[in-house]
Chains A and B, each alone.
Chain A
């Protein structure tokens, strides 16, 4: 089941903050966040695991509400380099799933 991301797109001025949300209808074991710039490969940002463990980017923060099956990515004091499409990938709690199902992405544009 594909997670739902919101918003679909957002435009920010440099220095502004943004929140990108990811929600699933299934119980989740982990949520991954990736950023993809135009014409490039997705790049890892963060992993949030059931139980509270996090791994990832120093300048980007995220939360994972296991009960609500939701995750949010917080981008503060945005820079031009933050522009790109952000994808969340979720792993269901089902045993042996071993795979990420990605959302449709949130396109973030940061303008001067």
Chain B
């Protein structure tokens, strides 16, 4: 059983389009995250939800909007895609918030904007 899953795995789209990435975890965790990993492998947090409540909202363009319909799901919607949005987006979950809990990462979604 996959602990943290993401769909799609690959996403190729044109500038200006709107796209969504979905994440689900079956670990019973309370906290979920979205990270962006750029071409230089820099892993940066974007958002975090704890029990469906947004607790981290980093400096991210308003074109990015997360939604957590329940504790097991966290989706990311991106409007008006730009070239600079090309990256690998990782979803992660943990039993609680840091510092004590390890994070489990999903397989990633590689987004390519042309």
Chain A residues near B (Cβ < 8 Å):
29-30, 32, 34, 36, 40-44, 47, 49-50, 55-56, 85, 87, 91, 97-102, 104-105
Contacts and interface: CB of A to CB of B under 8 A. Distances in A.
A41 B108 contact: yes
Q: What is the interface of chain B mostly: helix, strand, loop, or mixed?
A: loop
B40 A29 contact: no
Contacts of B58: 99
Contacts, number: 63
Q: What is the interface of chain A mostly: helix, strand, loop, or mixed?
A: strand
Interface string B78-97: 00000000000010000001
B45 A32 contact: no
Interface residues of B, number: 24
Interface stretch (B14-22, B59-67, B68-76, B98-106): B98-106
Interface string B15-59: 000000000000000000000000011111100101000011010
A44 B44 CA distance: 16
A42 B106 contact: no
Given A30-B99, A55-B102, A98-B97, 11 more contacts: A32-B103, A34-B103, A40-B107, A42-B103, A42-B105, A47-B99, A47-B100, A87-B43, A98-B48, A99-B58, A104-B42
Given A29-B99, A49-B100, A102 B42 contact: yes
B90 A104 contact: no
Contacts of A34: 103
A89 B39 CA distance: 19
A23 to B, nearest CB: 17
Nearest to A29: B99
Nearest to B97: A98
Contacts of B45: 99-101
